[in-house]
Structure 1
Amino acid sequence: MKGYSILASVLALVIISSVGCAQQEKSSQSAEKTVKSQILQVDTIPTLNATKLELTKQYCLENYGVASYKLDSPKIVLVHFTVIPTLEETVAYFQKDSIESSRTNISKFSQMNVGIHYIVDKDGSIYKLVPDTVIARHAIGFNHVSIGIENIAKDAADLTPAQLESNVKLIAVLKERNPGLEYLVGHHEYNDTSLAHYKLFLAVDESYKPHNKPDPGPKFIADLREKLKAEHNLTFMK
């Protein structure tokens, strides 16, 4: 009986140790998963200066009625593709302070150049051009509540799987950083008055209205929503 008691104790210890190791391994895997979800390589390419910030402030006063360039409570992630085929050309375009006069449909409403918060290159590399806390001019009527992502591509067919993956990771991080983000909208959807996000539209000048855009296209945005749900359990309104 004494030998049996000792054996039972040893077995019990082994079982407890095994359970403890399993729990520790599970905990480590969970922690590792959490850490991995927070790691995102983003390189910064500054495009702001004092002139552009002043133009942004003026733009916001003229179009949103508030003399501030601050993006305090973003509600929308708005996804685009560039049409411009390379990262270098795209960055050079966004680094200009003033909008080109040839863009007659928007230049009459402000001299502020168009801008974007993030660019995703064709290989999936992510670049930050404007801080999340500063308004960028990328979507008529929604700049005051949106974070913009540009994907380097000539058209929808030019978008890559690597860009899709990086958009998923970036948006997951943005949501973690900004819990108030409720909407994920493709640029081709932003002019749809039937969608829920449109209630956030704002324009002091009623003639400054959104117009139809093709980017990034129905397939890319549908795949993006599907992967955000499957991989991060994130669902956004349109």
Structure 2
Amino acid sequence: MSHGSATAPPIASQPLAYVARLPSRPLTDIDLVVIHCTELPDLAAARQYGERVLYPEAGTGASGHWYVDRDGAIVEYVPAERIAHHVRGWNHRSVGIELVNRGRFPHWYDSRHQAMEEPYPAAQLDALAELLLHLRRSLPALRLIAGHEDLDTERVAASDDPTLDVARKCDPGPLFPWARLLEAVPLERYRR
């Protein structure tokens, strides 16, 4: 992973239609970045999911702030000053980065399909490090980083056998190179 320069990486702005309905906040409220994987086949599927209105009373859905594709392309769906729905209980103080990765797709809660076997490509990890370095410079309180699995530890009934339970969230998963990332980016890993 590269250590990057002092310039921002290329980020394509593609705001979701409901961005203006998301609550705003000062950038000084953000001290945590959460790493996710999409658990979907590609960026187009992630966009479709992000566009869905899941909270009718607010007219908003669930989405990360930035998405990093397998080739390293970075897209912003929600600006940092808006509170996105990406991790239960932590949204007010965090931003979310989604890495395009199949994860457990399409059998998220099937107890027989819990292995997350798709590796994260070097181009994607390098772009993630560049984005994190940029955020570290532009978000004055940002000091912490966590995986979605570190913060949402709930277990749910397996879809194939309700007598078994599986992790509701297990991203970015066992193939995510935490040690390499933390060497490249000056953030402290947060765990509950």
Is this a same-fold pair by TM over 0.5? yes
Alignment counterpart, residue 235 of structure 1, candidates 173, 182, 187:
187
In the superposition, the TM-score normalised over structure 1's length comes to 0.60
Q: Would the aligned equivalents of 1:164 and 1:220 in 2 still touch at CA under 8 Å?
A: no
Aligned twin of 2:74? 126
Aligned twin of 2:117? 157
* Alpha-carbon spacing, 1:38–1:137, altered in 2? closer, same or farther (3 Å): same
* 1:17-36 correspondence runs (5 A): 36=5
Structure 2: runs of 5 or more not aligned: 104-115, 154-166
* RMSD (CA atoms): 2.6
Seq. identity, %: 26
Q: Provide the rounded CA distance (Å) in 1 between the counterparts of 2:57 and 2:91.
A: 14
* Alpha-carbon spacing, 1:176–1:92, altered in 2? closer, same or farther (3 Å): same
Q: Provide the rounded CA distance (Å) in 2 between the counterparts of 1:214 and 1:109.
A: 28
In the superposition, the TM-score normalised over structure 2's length comes to 0.73
Give the letter aligned to residue 92 of structure 2. H
Give the letter aligned to residue 80 of structure 1. H
Aligned residues: 161
* Alpha-carbon spacing, 1:165–1:151, altered in 2? closer, same or farther (3 Å): same
* 1:159-178 correspondence runs (5 A): 159-178=120-139
Q: Provide the rounded CA distance (Å) in 2 between the counterparts of 1:191 and 1:153.
A: 19
Q: Provide the rounded CA distance (Å) in 1 between the counterparts of 2:117 and 2:6.
A: 28
1:111 Cα deviation from its structure 2 partner? 6.1
Q: Provide the rounded CA distance (Å) in 1 between the counterparts of 2:40 and 2:4.
A: 35
Structure 1 segments (4+ residues) deviating >4 Å: 107-111
Larger RCO: 1 or 2 (CA < 8 Å, sep 6+): 2
* 1:1-238 correspondence runs (5 A): 36-49=5-18, 53-54=20-21, 56=22, 69-72=23-26, 73-96=29-52, 98-99=53-54, 112-155=60-103, 156-158=116-118, 159-191=120-152, 212-223=168-179, 226-229=180-183, 231-232=184-185, 234-238=186-190
More strand by proportion, 1 or 2?
2
* Alpha-carbon spacing, 1:39–1:178, altered in 2? closer, same or farther (3 Å): closer
Give the letter aligned to residue 178 of structure 1. L
